[in-house]
Structure 1
């Protein structure tokens, strides 16, 4: 099992002046601890599950480009880009640019979008859910075409591109890995089976995660896809400490052994990689503990289901 780190909160003391230095330290500390990937949300307002929309929120790909300049090994992605936020051709160029400038470390995380409040606030069209999924599938088709040798036209129901030219191409071949976020058993998991290199689920407990993995396996069988080709990831909360004190976010912390046990249960449910949200990620003293968790879970592999 590999570990990633998601940064979803930027309202640190002294913000906005402190945001750049603090985020840069988090990225470097995570890389030094052996964390394999760094993720940010692709939102324009803070989401209400974390805080009020007025809290600080950065544009995702500018943030990842900054992280690329602060690091040399850690992989970089959004968890996840809403399909409505960027035209597919521009999104392909954006992720390709991140990949080229980072030396081949970009991921594309994408989903059908859900936050109506920020769409309406910034004047971004927010079509009905069925149309958003149609746009998501067309976007995936456009991305794969732009990351191929075919620079011809694309004609879909929602998007029309006269020439899908993408130069330079991404360093990572055949393309930056595509991760689709969501657990919808009918539409989302079908798109994962057809188009994605990875899926991302919420931590809804080992039992429900195992059932979601089984549903994905059925979709893979239906479309003739090898289920084991797809990396199953989960976003979960793990704030580490040696003493069990409360993290600055107000959430309890856990020991290394408790975290390893939690991640082991996720692996038993069929999860390959875990992406952690940490309430104390600004504390440099937590990263030796992160490094120890990275070491101990490296041998975990998803249970065959």
Structure 2
């Protein structure tokens, strides 16, 4: 089993000029600790579940490019890009650039978008949900076409590309893994089965037993389109505050290992975590010395 780190907040101190130094240190510590991947949200305003909307929020791909320059092995992705934020051809070019310059470390995280406030705030059109899903499917089609090197015109309902040229091509073949965010059973998980390489389930939004149900729905969609269920990387996202002694209702290393083992037993390949104490050294030392070595030995059910 693998563990990834999501960094959803950049508010660590009142000294904004040190923000980049702290983020670089987090990326470097995550790689040294053995985290498989590093993720940032693709939002322009902070989201309410994390903090006040006025809190610092870095643009996702600039932040990942910066992190790529400070690391060598850790995978890099947005969790996830809203389909409305960028024209699809430009978006694929952006992800390809990250993949090329990082020597093949990019994920392509994409979803239907939801945060109307930041759309209105920055003047980005926010179409109805049904249209956003139509745009998401067209963007996924464009991504596959561009990464296949197919330059013929793309004619969709919402997007028309006269020549979807993508040079240089991605380092990862056939393309960077496509993670489709969201847990909707009728549309999102169908798109995962048809176009995706990875999915993500937010544990904070799931009730007891719902994860197993969502995985079964994904399995059914894979069967319907003739796709091996094992082709899809199953990931989760949840918060963990890790300390040596479990103070303040935090996880001890033993409790964290048990948490990850439970997810692996349900068929989760990679558990993504965010940490309230991510700017501290202590959790990275515990992940490096105790948690990640143990979790890497855990077999994922169904593999």
TM-score using structure 2 length? 0.97
CA distance in 2, matches of 1:303, 1:238: 22
Corresponding pairs, count? 300
CA distance in 2, matches of 1:284, 1:160: 48
**Could you say which residue in structure 2 is the equivalent of 1:216?**
218
**Could you say which residue in structure 1 is the equivalent of 2:291?**
293
The answer (yes or no) to whether the contact 2:149–2:166 under 8 Å persists in 1 is no
Shift of residue 268, structure 1, vs aligned partner:
1.7
The answer (yes or no) to whether the contact 1:152–1:164 under 8 Å persists in 2 is yes
The answer (yes or no) to whether the contact 1:12–1:18 under 8 Å persists in 2 is no
Q: Deviations over 1:78-126 (max 9, x none)?
A: 0000000000000001000101111110110110000011001111011
Shift of residue 205, structure 1, vs aligned partner:
5.1
Shift of residue 147, structure 1, vs aligned partner:
0.5
Shift of residue 133, structure 1, vs aligned partner:
0.4
The answer (yes or no) to whether the contact 1:207–1:269 under 8 Å persists in 2 is no
Is the partner of 1:18 in helix, strand or coil? Answer: helix
Is the partner of 1:180 in helix, strand or coil? Answer: strand
CA distance in 1, matches of 2:202, 2:297: 22
Shift of residue 206, structure 1, vs aligned partner:
5.8
- Match runs of 1:250-261 below 5 Å: 252-261=249-258
**Could you say which residue in structure 2 is the equivalent of 1:37?**
37
**Could you say which residue in structure 1 is the equivalent of 2:83?**
83
The answer (yes or no) to whether the contact 1:209–1:270 under 8 Å persists in 2 is no
- Match runs of 1:241-280 below 5 Å: 241-246=243-248, 252-280=249-277
CA distance in 1, matches of 2:50, 2:11: 11
CA distance in 2, matches of 1:269, 1:206: 12
Q: Deviations over 1:236-293 (max 9, x none)?
A: 11111012233xxxxx311011011111111122211100111111111221211221
The answer (yes or no) to whether the contact 1:24–1:70 under 8 Å persists in 2 is yes
The answer (yes or no) to whether the contact 1:206–1:266 under 8 Å persists in 2 is no
Is the partner of 1:109 in helix, strand or coil? Answer: strand
Shift of residue 193, structure 1, vs aligned partner:
0.1
**Could you say which residue in structure 2 is the equivalent of 1:117?**
117
The answer (yes or no) to whether the contact 1:83–1:136 under 8 Å persists in 2 is yes
CA distance in 1, matches of 2:283, 2:193: 37
- Match runs of 1:80-159 below 5 Å: 80-159=80-159
Q: Does residue 1:191 correspond to 2:191, yes or no?
A: yes
CA distance in 2, matches of 1:293, 1:206: 24
Structure 1 residues without counterparts, runs of 5 or longer: 247-251
TM-score using structure 1 length? 0.96
Q: Deviations over 1:34-72 (max 9, x none)?
A: 001000000000001111110000000000000000000
Q: Over aligned residue pairs, what C-alpha RMSD do you find?
A: 1.1
The answer (yes or no) to whether the contact 2:6–2:272 under 8 Å persists in 1 is yes
Q: Which has the higher mean CA deviation after the structures are superposed, 258-267 or 109-118?
A: 258-267
**Could you say which residue in structure 2 is the equivalent of 1:229?**
231
Shift of residue 235, structure 1, vs aligned partner:
0.3
Is the partner of 1:280 in helix, strand or coil? Answer: coil
Structure 2 residues without counterparts, runs of 5 or longer: none
Q: Deviations over 1:145-187 (max 9, x none)?
A: 1101211110000000000100011111111110011110100
Q: Does residue 1:49 correspond to 2:49, yes or no?
A: yes
Shift of residue 304, structure 1, vs aligned partner:
2.9
